[in-house]
Amino acid sequence: MNNKNYTFIDIFCGIGGFSYGFEKVDFELKLAIDNNLKLKETFNKNHNMEVFRELDLTKEVIDKLNNLNVDLIIGSPPCQGFSDARGCRIAKKENDLLRNSLSFAFLKIVEYFQPKIVVLENVKGLSTYNGGLLLNKILEEFDKLNYNACFKILNALDFGIPQNRERIFILAVHKEFKINPIFNTKIILQGIKANKPTLRDVFTDLPLKVDNQNYLKNYDEATPYQKIMRDKKKDKLYNHNILSYPNEKELELIKNLPQGKVYRSSRFGKKYIGVWDLYKAQLLQDERELLYFLCKKRTLNEFKELREKYQEGYIRIEKFPINNKGKFQFESFVKNSEEIKNRIPQKIIDGLIEKRFIRKRAFLEENNQFFAYDINTKSGIRPKYRRLSYKGQSSTIQTVSFKVNDLIHPVANRPLTFREGARIQSFPDNFIFYGSKTDLATMIGNAVPPLMAQYLGLFMQSLLDYITGKEKSVSFSRELKISI
């Protein structure tokens, strides 16, 4: 196979994680388009040529690119609004829904260039947004544009990338080639080791302390993943800094957080740790028990005062359980038959309010005011402060992942550095990010992992060989290597 055999365009390119992977398997990038100027320096300094153009996806693009012929178009239209986070989802008319989305602008470029293959990446939530309405409309539009299209949700974890990152990929092949495409994961994932790299494999060679030195540790042997990531030409490490340092209260919390645990008191399971355990040293036994009861019952209609959709919390004093002596007692928390020296619920609650673990709120019932009580941010009301584990992989790297109250380093009492996040995203160390700290968080969190893109690039290369008659089947046997 000749080098640079196929050409492509990257629409909504961002910093170019998607195109970086395709370039590494010999696709020739002809053009990359994004209207965010903050991304331009990072894109151009990490790709083979300066191809970034800050064009709006309108007639302006088409007018300037009249003579450009490409085999493939890839792209990642911005996903705001498609996520699975809670929020208001008001259904819109189908045509308005599509035409007002950036996915439609992407399709207009496809309509003009008519490439052989199109690959569109987006968040998993696109498949369920408005009951799948937008996804179905996109597939219908591909059909109108003379393409057979399919979609599949792929997880970066299956591509040897150390994070659980599910994204939807739409693959479309021009109807002139008379095939109905499928994402054949057996072919795409060929050669990938079954053992997933852990975070111990990813960045144990990076300094724990964040300072101005930023040199790699001198280990005799690096892990296979570290060998892929390292810059063989230099020991200097770039972007190994953090968004912000934890304050005193945050540091206290982080120090108590075990590896692999999420601080959230309103959910229960092996991965969560509750306030009654995290702050055990600061709490009396009956305070721990009352907090446990409050967290266990605050989502149930028969206990909570907030009843609207997505609302939870606030329990009135009468609903806190007591024993025959009027003292608080919650049987689910009692592990033995020793005498329980608990106080009355109000005394315990007053102490927890003073320690700022509980908040109170006034309610009206038949013109009578009463107070109800709930946990607060300090008590882990939201799924924040997730300490990663060296034994496992990361959750999805997002734009917010570098905040103090999001992903915490497995052993250092700080958030992830941008370089650690970049490695989790499979960006090699010689891929340098330029901009403010906030810009870097956005760049890394929004990117398509380059290693994942490489495997997809090999599959698209094989698919192009097949539809153009160069090969009789869609398969590949090339050993994938990342060149740093």
Tokens of 299: 């989502």
**Catalytic residue chosen out of the listed positions 13, 79, 150, 295:** 79
Tokens of 49: 């040529």
Q: Are 142 and 171 in contact (CB under 8 A)?
A: no
Q: Hey, CA dihedral for 146, 148, 152, 158, is it positive or negative?
A: negative
How far is the C-alpha of 374 from the C-alpha of 85, rounded, in Å? 23
Beta-bridge mates of residue 186: none
How far is the C-alpha of 4 from the C-alpha of 119, rounded, in Å? 18
For 6-24, the three-class secondary structure string (H helix, E strand, C coil) is: EEEEEECCCCCHHHHHHHH
Contacts of 2 (CB under 8 A, 6+ apart): none
Query: What single letter denotes the amino acid at residue 278?
Result: L
Helices (H), ranges, 114-175: 133-144
Q: What is the DSSP letter of 450?
A: H
Burial class (CB in 10 A: 0-12, 13-18, 19+), 341: exposed
Query: What single letter denotes the amino acid at residue 382?
Result: R
Q: What is the DSSP letter of 254?
A: H
The DSSP result for 49-110, as a single string, is: S--EE---TTHHHHHHTTT---SEEEE----TT-SSSS-------HHHHHHTSHHHHHHHHH
| Tally of CB atoms within 10 A around 201 | 20
Provide the angle, in degrees to the nearest 10, between the axes of the packed helices 133-144 and 102-113. 10
If we measure between CA atoms, which residue out of 281, 228, 231 comes closest to residue 253?
Answer: 281
Run of H or E including 288 = helix 285-297
Contacts of 80 (CB under 8 A, 6+ apart): none
Run of H or E including 437 = helix 437-446
Question: Is-catalytic flag, 13?
Answer: no
3-state secondary structure of 61: helix
Residues assigned a catalytic role: 79
